[in-house]
Amino acid sequence: MLIGITLENNKPDVRKPKDCAAEMAAHLDTVAKERCKASFAKVFGYFAPRLRSYALKQMGNEAIAMELVQDTMSNVWQKAHLFNAEKGSPSTWIFTIARNIRFDMLRKLKNRKEDVCSDDMWPILCEQTADPKEKSLEEKVTLQQVGELFNQLPEKQKAVIEAIYIEGKSQQEVADELEIPLGTVKSRTRLALQRLKDMLETHD
Amino acid sequence: MIKFHPTSQQLNKFSDGLLTPAEALMISAHCDMCPQCSSKVMLYTEAHSETLFEDNSQTFDADLFGSMMADITSGEVDRGIASDPQNRVIELDGRKFTLPRSLNRLSESMGNWSHMVGKLWQAPVNIGGDTVANFIFMEKGGGVPEHTHRGSEMTLVVNGEFSDGLANYSSGDFTVMDDQKIHTPSTTSDEGCLVFSVIDAPLHFTSGWARLINPFSHLFFK
Ligand SMILES: [Zn+2]
């Protein structure tokens, strides 16, 4: 599990972020494509201790600092496919993830009532529809096929998808209309889209 | 052409995530409309990340991090669902306005437009906390009576042009007004002007009949 880590124990990696940017970008790529734990260990080994010092300074509390490190690194693992080396270095990407988590944490810790979250301003972890893989998938499927698959969805999911994607309503509007919680609309949308996607992928 | 930008200090703090939520939201919406500030923010962000990760005083401690790493990599990978980053469009009387992306989610729960004094329209956006956010639309010839502020007022021009006796503003311009400044926003453009405004205390009207509404101003501009 911890291959490559034990060796580096006690011997800090003193390289500057710039000096290992290319190497870290390559590791992130492997994590994205193969969920490679050894590559993730390299990224983790370099960034986690640094994030911890930062988090300790910022939050002044060991438990909260470790939560910040864990949330950040967990996103790096989960969302490695969203890292784009053309847009910036691995260290900048990881910093923005940590900053967003800290922003949302501080808002809660300070008991601020503002309903402004980091995703509103920095949507770095939002999945992009413009993924070339998804596009080619779309091109392969005709509208009629989608229609057939759509009809196979459970009624409740169908109603939500219809309102959002065909009638162009917002999730909130759908929730009000159907008198169900917003969270339910979100989960139905998600389940339905996931289901459609699965069906499309097994379709050809 | 955008003439009024946030200060470099604001942009710097914004990139570090250190502004208050309301201020950060305004700066972010401005950056959506302003390539110049948006590239400054990128540079600041890079600088912050350099500073953060240059600190190599912590070594990798397997006791501290080993289980965390195992924990992270053992979970299912949930890719989530792709969202469409399209900017939302809001409507008033048949006019359509495309919003800066940062206001997408919050504008989903905006209240109805209400027609107020002086060819003014207002629709509240609930951003919580002590701040009050509104879309304000001034029809041609319309405006807000002369006032000053007990707290601060941040304004972003979403679409159109207006003047306030101190300067002329157009789409993308961002201003902050405080208790040192008295102004009278109004528009003379045919298309009218839509602004997004955030205040942390009710306005204080300073002239003419409008003074009469001071005791109730929290009902109007809140
Ligand atoms: Zn600007």
Partner-chain contact B59 A9, CB within 8 Å: yes
| pLDDT for the residue numbered B116 | 73
In a domain, A49, yes or no: yes
d(CA A67, CA A46): 17
List the single residue in B with minimal CA-CA distance to A14. Answer: B56
Confidence of residue A6 (pLDDT cuts 50, 70, 90): very low
A22 and A110 together in one domain: yes
Quick check: B172 pLDDT over 90? yes
Quick check: A132 pLDDT over 70? no
Positive or negative, the Cα torsion across B100, B106, B111, B115? negative
Torsion of CA A130, A135, A136, A139, to 10 degrees: -160
3-state secondary structure A124-186: CCCCECCCHHHHHHHHHCCHHHHHHHHHCCCHHHHHHHHHHHHCCCCHHHHHHHHCCCHHHHH
Quick check: B170 pLDDT over 80? yes
- Quote the minimal CA–CA distance from B10 to chain A in Å: 15
A113 and A20 together in one domain: yes
Of the two residues A5 and A15, the one the predictor is more confident about is A15
A111 and A154 together in one domain: no
- Measure CA B188 to chain center: 23
Quick check: A68 pLDDT over 90? yes
A21 and A56 together in one domain: yes
Partner-chain contact A44 B102, CB within 8 Å: no
A136 and A81 together in one domain: no
Q: Tell me what the mean pLDDT of segment A139-145 comes to.
A: 48
d(CA B143, CA B162): 9
Q: Which residues of A6-27 are buried (b: 16+ CB within 10 A; e: fewer)?
A: eebbeebbeeebeebbeebbeb
Which range, of A71-75, A90-94, A101-105, A196-200, averages the lowest pLDDT? A196-200
A107 and A165 together in one domain: no
Of the two residues A204 and B185, the one the predictor is more confident about is B185
- Quote the minimal CA–CA distance from A139 to chain B in Å: 17
Q: Tell me what the mean pLDDT of segment A148-156 comes to.
A: 77
Give the residue from A100, A121, A142 where a domain finishes.
A121
In a domain, A75, yes or no: yes
Confidence of residue B202 (pLDDT cuts 50, 70, 90): low
Question: How large a percentage of chain B has pLDDT more than 70?
Answer: 85
Token pair, residue A168, equals 């162009």
Quick check: A19 pLDDT over 80? yes
Cβ atoms within 10 Å, residue B47: 14
Q: Where are the domains positioned within chain B?
A: 8-74, 89-220
Token pair, residue B132, equals 């009050």
d(CA B143, CA B109): 25
Partner-chain contact B75 A1, CB within 8 Å: no
Q: Which residues of B139-177 are buried (b: 16+ CB within 10 A; e: fewer)?
A: beebbbbbbbbebbbbbbbbbbbbbbeeeebbbbbbbbb
Name residue B17's amino acid.
G
Partner-chain contact A116 B106, CB within 8 Å: yes
Backbone Cα Rg of chain A: 21
Q: Tell me what the mean pLDDT of segment A99-108 comes to.
A: 91
| pLDDT for the residue numbered B8 | 95
Quick check: A182 pLDDT over 50? yes
Size of interface A-B (CB pairs under 8 A): 187
Q: Which residues of B74-107 are buried (b: 16+ CB within 10 A; e: fewer)?
A: eeeeeeebeeeeeebebeeeeeebebbbbbbbbb
Q: How far apart are the CA of B36 and the centre of ligand 1, in A?
A: 6
Confidence of residue A123 (pLDDT cuts 50, 70, 90): confident
Confidence of residue B186 (pLDDT cuts 50, 70, 90): confident
List the single residue in B with minimal CA-CA distance to A131. Answer: B82
Confidence of residue B125 (pLDDT cuts 50, 70, 90): very high
Partner-chain contact A95 B45, CB within 8 Å: yes
| pLDDT for the residue numbered A128 | 60
Quick check: B31 pLDDT over 90? yes
A112 and A157 together in one domain: no
Of the two residues B2 and B130, the one the predictor is more confident about is B2
Which among B65, B96, B154 is the top mutation candidate for probing chain A, defined by the most A β-carbons within 10 Å of its own β-carbon?
B65
In a domain, A127, yes or no: no
Confidence of residue A28 (pLDDT cuts 50, 70, 90): very high
Q: Tell me what the mean pLDDT of segment A66-79 comes to.
A: 94
As for how many domains chain A has, the answer is 2
Q: How far apart are the CA of A175 and the centre of ligand 1, in A?
A: 37
A117 and A137 together in one domain: no
Instruction: Please state the pTM of the whole predicted model.
Output: 0.75
Q: Which residues contact B49 (CB under 8 A, 6 or more apart)?
A: A17, A89, A91, A92, A94, A95, A96
List the single residue in A with minimal CA-CA distance to B55. Answer: A50
- Measure CA B120 to chain center: 19
Q: How far is CA B52 from CA A59, A91, A92, B46, B49, in A?
A: 14, 9, 10, 10, 5
| pLDDT for the residue numbered B80 | 62
A155 burial type by CB count under 10 A (0-12 exposed, 13-18 middle, 19+ buried): exposed
A72 and A141 together in one domain: no
A117 and A136 together in one domain: no
Which among A98, A126, A124, A118 has a CA at the least distance from the CA of B25? A118
Partner-chain contact B22 A114, CB within 8 Å: yes
The domain defined by B89-220 carries CATH number 2.60.120.10: yes
Of the two residues B41 and A170, the one the predictor is more confident about is B41
Domain coverage including residue A53 = 6-121
In a domain, A1, yes or no: no
Q: Tell me what the mean pLDDT of segment A135-156 comes to.
A: 60
A108 and A141 together in one domain: no
| pLDDT for the residue numbered B46 | 93
Tell me the CB-side half-sphere exposure of residue B71, using CA atoms within 13 A: 12
Which among B62, B55, B72, B69 has a CA at the least distance from the CA of A7? B62
Q: Tell me what the mean pLDDT of segment B149-174 comes to.
A: 88
Question: How large a percentage of chain A has pLDDT more than 70?
Answer: 78
Confidence of residue A147 (pLDDT cuts 50, 70, 90): low
- Model ipTM? 0.86
Give the residue from A86, A121, A156 where a domain finishes.
A121
Of the two residues A143 and B172, the one the predictor is more confident about is B172
Of the two residues A10 and B94, the one the predictor is more confident about is B94
Q: Which residues keep their CB under 5 angstroms from ion ligand 1?
A: B 5, 34, 37
Which range, of A1-10, A17-26, B178-187, averages the lowest pLDDT? A1-10
| pLDDT for the residue numbered A11 | 62
In a domain, A58, yes or no: yes
**3-class state of residue B158 by DSSP:** strand
| pLDDT for the residue numbered B150 | 72
Give the residue from A121, A141, A165 where a domain finishes.
A121
A23 and A111 together in one domain: yes
d(CA A135, CA B85): 15
| pLDDT for the residue numbered B174 | 95
For residue A111, give the DSSP letter.
T
Contact B91, A107 (CB under 8 A): no
**3-class state of residue B76 by DSSP:** coil
Angle at A14 between CA A13 and CA A20, to 5 degrees: 75
The CATH code of the domain that includes A46 is 1.10.1740.10
Positive or negative, the Cα torsion across B48, B51, B54, B56? negative
Name residue B169's amino acid.
Y
Q: How far apart are the CA of B162 and the centre of ligand 1, in A?
A: 18
Partner-chain contact B81 A194, CB within 8 Å: yes
